[in-house]
Chains A and B, each alone.
Chain A
Amino acid sequence: MARYLLRRLAFLLVSLALASVVLFVLLRMLPGDPANALTSVGAGPEQIAAARHSIGSDRPLPEQFTHWIGQLATGDLGTSFVSSLPVGPEVSSRLDVTVPLTLAAFVLAVLIAVPAGFVAAYKRRTWYGALLSGVSQLGIAVPVFWLGMILIAVFSLNAGWLPAGGFPQEGWAAPTEAVRSLALPVVTIALVMGASLTRYVRSATLDVLNSDYLRTARALGSSFGRAMWRHGLRNASVPVISILGIELASTLLGAVVVESVFALPGLGSMLATGIAQHDYPVIQGVLFVSTLAVLLIGFAADLVQRIVDPRLRNRLSGGPR
Chain B
Amino acid sequence: MTLLDIRGLTVRTADGRTLVDDLSLTLGPGERLGVIGESGSGKSLTTLAVLGLLPEGMTATGSVELAGTQIVGATEKRLTTVRGRDAAIVFQEPLTALDPLMRVGRQLAEPLRGKRRLTGGALKRAVAEALEQVRLPEPDRIARAFPHEISGGQRQRVALAMALACEPKLLIADEPTTALDVSVQAEMLALIDTLVREREMAVLFVSHDLAVVAKVTDRALVMKDGRAVEEGTVERLVRAPREEYTKALVTSARRLESALDLRSAP
B157 within 8 A of A: no
Given the contacts A212-B91, A215-B53, A310-B146, A220 and B99 also touching, CB distance less than 8 Å: no
Give B75-113 as 1s and 0s: 1 = Cβ < 8 Å from A's Cβ atoms.
Answer: 011001101110011010100111111100000001100
Residues from 147 to 196 in B contacting A, C-beta threshold 8 Å: 148-149, 159, 162-163, 166
B interface, over-half SS: mixed
A317 CA / B159 CA spacing, docked (Å): 31
Q: Enumerate chain B residues within 8 angstroms of A218, measured Cβ to Cβ.
A: 53, 80, 83
A111 to B115, CA, bound (A): 35
Contact status A223-B93, CB under 8 Å: no
Tell me, in angstroms, the Cα distance from A211 to B96 when the chains sit together: 7
Are A235 and B93 within 8 A (Cβ)?
Answer: no
Cβ of B73 under 8 Å from chain A: no
Given contacts A212-B97, A311-B146, A311-B148, contact A219 B102 (CB under 8 A): no
Given contacts A216-B159, A235-B101, whether A221 and B84 have CB atoms under 8 Å apart is: yes
**Do the beta carbons of B88 and A215 come within 8 Å of each other?**
no
Q: Check B101 against A221 for contact (C-beta < 8 Å).
A: no
- Rounded to whole angstroms, the CA-CA distance of A26 and B148 in the bound complex is 46
For window 228-243 of chain A, which residues contact chain B by CB distance below 8 Å?
A: 230-231, 234-235, 238
A271 to chain B, nearest CB (A): 41
- Total A-B residue pairs with C-beta atoms closer than 8 Å? 89
If the complex has contacts A231-B99, A234-B101, are A221 and B146 also in contact, measured as CB distance less than 8 A? no
B204 on the interface (CB 8 Å rule)? Answer: no
Partner of A213, one of B89, B97, B115: B97
Q: Of A212, A234, A314, which contacts B96 at CB under 8 A? A: A212
Q: Does B71 lie at the interface of the complex (its beta carbon under 8 Å from any beta carbon of A)?
A: no
A219 in complex: contacting residue of B84, B98, B100, CB < 8 Å:
B84
> Is A223 in contact with B80, judged by CB distance below 8 angstroms?
yes
Q: What range describes how many residues of A lie at the interface? A: 20 to 34
Q: Is A309 an interface residue (CB 8 A)?
A: yes
Given A212-B93, A216-B159, verify A223-B100 contact (CB < 8 Å).
Answer: no
A220:B100 contact, CB within 8 angstroms: no
Q: In the assembled complex, how far is the CB of residue A119 from the closest CB belonging to chain B, in whole angstroms?
A: 15
Task: Check B99 against A219 for contact (C-beta < 8 Å).
Answer: no
B222 proximal to A (CB < 8 A): no
CB-CB nearest in chain B for A237: B101
Q: Is the CB of B159 within 8 A of A310?
A: no
Contact indicator A221/B93 (Cβ below 8 Å): no
- Max chain B C-beta neighbours (<10 A), residue from A212, A234, A311: A212
**A212-B93, A215-B53 known; A222+B114 contact, CB < 8 A:** yes
8 smallest A-B Cβ distances: which pairs?
A221-B84, A212-B96, A213-B99, A220-B84, A220-B111, A310-B146, A221-B83, A231-B99
Q: List 7 A-B contacts (CB under 8 A).
A: A213-B99, A216-B91, A216-B97, A221-B80, A221-B84, A223-B76, A238-B101
A residues near B (Cβ < 8 Å) are 125, 209, 211-213, 215-224, 226, 230-231, 234-235, 238, 308-311, 314
Known pairs A211-B96, A220-B88, A231-B101 / 11 extra A-B pairs, C-beta < 8 Å: A213-B99, A215-B91, A216-B162, A217-B99, A220-B163, A221-B83, A222-B110, A238-B101, A309-B101, A310-B100, A310-B101
